[in-house]
Amino acid sequence: MLGLSRKDTSFLLIVIFLTLATPLLLQPFPEDSALAQFNAGYPDLMQRFAIFGIFAIGFNILFGLTGYLSFGHAAFLGVGSYSAVWMFKLLTMNVIPALILAVIVSGLFALLIGYVSLRRSGIYFSILTLAFAQMMFALAYSVLTPITGGETGLQLSLNDPRILGVSQTPEGNIPVPHLFGLEMRDSVQWAVGGWEFTFNAGYYFCAVIAILVFYLSMRIFRSPFGMMLRAVKTNQTRMNYTGLNPRPYTLAAFVISGMYAGLAGGLMAAMDPLAGAERMQWTASGEVVLMTILGGAGTLMGPVLGAGFIKYFENIFSKINDNVLHAWFAFLPDGLEDVVVAIIHPFVGKGWHLTLGILFMLVVIFLPGGLVEGYRRLTRAFRRTPRPDPRRDPEHHPGPVPHVGE
Amino acid sequence: MASMADMGGGAAIGRRLINVGIGLAVFVGVWMLLRLIGVSSSGIVLQVLNGLEKGSAYALIALGLTLIFGTLGVVNFAHGALFMLGAFVAVTFNGLVGLSYEEVDPTRTDFLGNPAVIQTPYVEAWFGEAAGQWMIDWSVPLSILIAVPFMALVGLVMERGLIKYFYKRPHADQILVTFGLAIVLQEIVKAIYGANPIPTPAPDAFQGSFDFGVWLGFDANTILYPYWRLVYFLFAAVIIAGVFAFLRYTTFGMVVRAGMADRETVGLLGINIDRRFTIMFAIAAVVAGLAGVMYAPILSPNYHMGMDFLVLSFVVVVVGGMGSLAGAVAAGLILGILQSFASMTEVLELVPGINQIIIYLVAIIILLTRPRGLMGRKGVMEE
């Protein structure tokens, strides 16, 4: 179906199901239970899952397939956000033109930066992309303030022209982003027993786009073009000797992943119509690298998992404070309770970065393939009859042939 | 593997002279350009001096980074965190010598009429008033004595405990695990010291400014330069010279250089090269730590100062050429000076915002015209 093998089709269907059922799946605990704070089914967070998922999927097309480690991808995210907000200011609050402009503009930027940066490889490429992104960040903060809003960020105002829309609503408010009238912040609440589920229009819009771009990345992974990108990673010299020029392929991958980042930035602006320069800082670029590696670079699902994992931790772990901890460990004797809380305290709440850093180190040390690799190891351990590892199959992957004349 | 041919070897001397000539020509060109847009000569000298101070911090961090890369072949993203740890050694020592106990002095009263509470630092009670006050005043330079063993220990533990297992892993893995370590270190510091910068003063003797103007023949008060920055620059120069001399003139350094050129052969000669590289890692950690200790009075230490410096130091290392020690030092100083040139009002009027981007702009230009940085060698970090 849709040009995918049967296995991929079922995989895609599972992903579609999981994405659409997210508001239910992430709300496993009743509202009044002690575990309710582990629920992640509120619109704001779910939108972020989808948006950063898109960002990481795009980054993975470049890093996972070609091995080029860009440290400046957040720049495209920022450009996407700015273009989308400008579209909201000038044309209409409908999100479609904003997203289209975000993708086009970030694609142009990616073409320019990629064309220059891809003249170098290895760490030199990383530093070049980092340098471009930091330059854009610094300029957005200082000189380009008329375009970017500088430190306050780019915001909508009541005086914006909005040629195809209205400058302000009849009540005198700034109009909100919508999809042909469907407002992004519209939500439907559904209470069943102790549970409460929120179905948000913005989330479903992001989710549908995320599924589309996931499908696109699946096709890229399975296409001859994807094969070329893998060849770039495996052995560029050999690719050259075969008479293939790796540059256009790598540049295409760079532009595609830049457009994914721009789309994610545009969606961010569509969910909350403002854009700030801090979205372009190198820490933001580092975050998407972390997401991709944590989940598993070069795998289809890995980056999405990594993005969800980090965003979940960022939002849930940071909310656990001492009161919550005391409530949890209230069953312990008083002295022991204080000790336990004191031990856990540095790792939660404001210290969640510490937990993230430790987890991240553990993953890199013990699970170089990321969460996906961990899942594979688990299933392998629980399967009774181990299936032969396809990589060790001599039919398909013959060992290295000795070089003649060496 | 990176080699250190840029530290010696006769064949390259001619080419190096040409490079030095190009560098001088560029410098003179920039000078004339600045004069042309109306900057006074004393203003230029002042900016050169300002640039040297920041540049020497970049150079010290970049030196350690490139030393680790040249010996162990590891890209250490936690190096900025080592710089930060050094600064916090100074903060801690400053706090420790300032610890005092309280005594109620019944013979005197404070302004409310209550018996006065006299605070006496412990060090004054132990070593006498004069020596105690001197220790408090000189706490930052004195903390070097603690920073050296502490940073060496941190370096050894880091190398044996973590980095050792990453020799053979891809560079991306090394970057990621040390990045994780940097996050952990900075979060620990944040948990202990809080998120606010902690002012750490330099000794009173260095509080004022040195009037370079008179000294160099310009008008008085045109080139005022804080003493501590001068101290920092000289300190950095001593450390850099020390590292170079250590590598150049000791047997240990000779073996390390040989190991950088060809690790396997040195190992085959029966030398335990791993142990020496571990010691070099500790030395790199000490250099970063000392750079941090002495930087504490210039920039009040906060937990994220390491990350701020790390990104720029990486740019410096790459511009200098991965694995080249001299390149790292030269690039650090050059980029520091260019940055302070770009922050001059005359330049900013001409090209707004240039001070924010100059380092990255130069990095891009150099990487595109000289593929391996100023003094880099072929085949390093290009896989």
Give the pLDDT confidence of A197-240 residue by residue, as tens digits: 888 888 999 999 999 999 999 999 999 999 999 998 888 888 88
B102 in contact with A, Cβ within 8 Å? no
Query: Which chain B residues contact residue A150 at CB under 8 A?
Result: none
For residue B152, give the H/E element and its range. Answer: helix B139-161
How many Å lie between the alpha carbon of B235 and the closest alpha carbon of chain A?
29
Query: Which chain B residues contact residue A134 at CB under 8 A?
Result: 311, 357, 360
Q: Is there a contact between B179 and A286 if contact means CB atoms under 8 Å apart?
A: yes
- Mutate which: B184, B192, B307, B308, vs A, most A CBs within 10 A: B184
With pLDDT > 90 as the criterion, what percentage of chain A qualifies? Answer: 28
Give the alpha-carbon dihedral of A56, A58, A62, A67, to 10 degrees: 20
Each residue's pLDDT tens digit, A266-306: 999 998 888 888 888 888 888 898 889 888 888 888 999 99
Residue in B37, B34, B38 with CA at minimum distance from that of residue B51: B34
Cα–Cα separations (whole angstroms), residue A91 to A127, A201, A248: 37, 22, 35
Q: Is there a contact between A141 and B382 if contact means CB atoms under 8 Å apart?
A: no
Which amino acid is it at B118?
Answer: I
Query: Which chain A residues contact residue B315 at CB under 8 A?
Result: 127, 130-131
Q: Is there a contact between A134 and B169 if contact means CB atoms under 8 Å apart?
A: no
How many Å lie between the alpha carbon of A95 and the closest alpha carbon of chain B?
33
Query: Which chain A residues contact residue B173 at CB under 8 A?
Result: 364, 368
* Cβ neighbourhood burial of A238 (10 Å; 0-12, 13-18, 19+): exposed
How many Å lie between the alpha carbon of B245 and the closest alpha carbon of chain A?
29
**Alpha helices (runs of H) in chain B, residue ranges in sequence order:** 13-36, 41-72, 79-98, 122-127, 129-137, 139-161, 171-193, 212-216, 227-249, 251-261, 263-268, 273-295, 305-320, 325-342, 345-350, 354-369
For residue B160, give the H/E element and its range. Answer: helix B139-161
Strands (E), B214-334: 224-226
Complex-level ipTM beyond the 0.85 threshold: no
Q: Measured between CB atoms, which of A122, A139, A351 is closest to B357? A: A139
Each residue's pLDDT tens digit, A78-87: 999 999 999 9
Question: What's the rounded Cα separation, in Å, for the pair B333 and B58?
Answer: 7
Which residues 260-289 on chain B approach chain A with CB closer than 8 angstroms?
Answer: none
Query: Roughly what angle, to the nearest 10 degrees, separates helices A43-66 and A201-222?
Result: 10
Q: Is there a contact between A139 and B311 if contact means CB atoms under 8 Å apart?
A: no
The Cβ of residue A348 has, within 10 Å, a number of other Cβ atoms equal to 20
B370 in contact with A, Cβ within 8 Å? no
A197 has which bridge partners? A190
Query: What pLDDT shows up at residue B4?
Result: 46
Which amino acid is it at B273?
Answer: I
Query: Which chain B residues contact residue A354 at CB under 8 A?
Result: 183-184, 187-188, 191
Is residue A275 helix, strand or coil? strand
A238 in contact with B, Cβ within 8 Å? no
A206 in contact with B, Cβ within 8 Å? no
Residue in A126, A146, A148 with CA at minimum distance from that of residue A78: A148
How many Å lie between the alpha carbon of A288 and the closest alpha carbon of chain B?
12
Q: Token pair of A8, please?
A: 């991929």
Q: Beta B115-121 vs B100-109: how paired, if at all?
A: antiparallel
Q: Is there a contact between B172 and A132 if contact means CB atoms under 8 Å apart?
A: no
- Which positions ≥6 away from A128 have C-beta within 8 Å? A116, A117, A120, B363, B364, B367
For tokens 């001299």, name the residue.
B326
Each residue's pLDDT tens digit, A349-390: 777 788 888 888 888 888 888 888 888 888 888 876 555 555
Q: What is the DSSP string of B286-325?
A: HHHHHHHHHHTTTS---TTHHHHHHHHHHHHHHHH-TT-H
Cβ B212 vs Cβ B45: under 8 Å: yes
Q: Is there a contact between A351 and B187 if contact means CB atoms under 8 Å apart?
A: yes
Strands (E), chain B: 100-109, 115-121, 209-211, 224-226
With vertex at residue B303, the alpha carbon angle to CA B86 and CA B355, rounded to the nearest 5 degrees, is 95
For chain A, what are the domain ranges?
6-281
Residue in A277, A302, A287, A286 with CA at minimum distance from that of residue A221: A302
Cβ A262 vs Cβ A254: under 8 Å: no
- Give the model's confidence band at A401: pLDDT under 50 very low, under 70 low, under 90 confident, else very high: low
Q: What CATH code would you report for A6-281?
A: 1.10.3470
pLDDT in tens, chain B (383 residues): 344 444 445 556 777 788 788 888 888 888 888 888 877 777 888 888 888 888 898 899 999 998 888 888 888 889 999 999 999 999 999 888 888 887 777 777 777 777 777 777 887 778 877 888 888 888 888 899 999 999 999 999 999 999 888 888 887 788 888 888 998 998 899 888 888 888 888 888 787 777 777 777 777 777 777 888 888 989 999 999 999 999 989 999 999 888 888 888 888 998 888 889 899 999 999 999 999 999 988 888 988 888 878 888 888 888 888 878 888 898 998 899 888 888 888 888 887 778 878 888 888 888 888 877 777 766 555 54
Helix and strand numbers (H, E) in chain A are: 17, 6
Question: What's the rounded Cα separation, in Å, for the pair B368 and B318?
Answer: 12
For tokens 């990481």, name the residue.
A56
Question: What's the rounded Cα separation, in Å, for the pair A65 and A297?
Answer: 8
**Alpha helices (runs of H) in A317-349, residue ranges in sequence order:** 322-328, 334-344
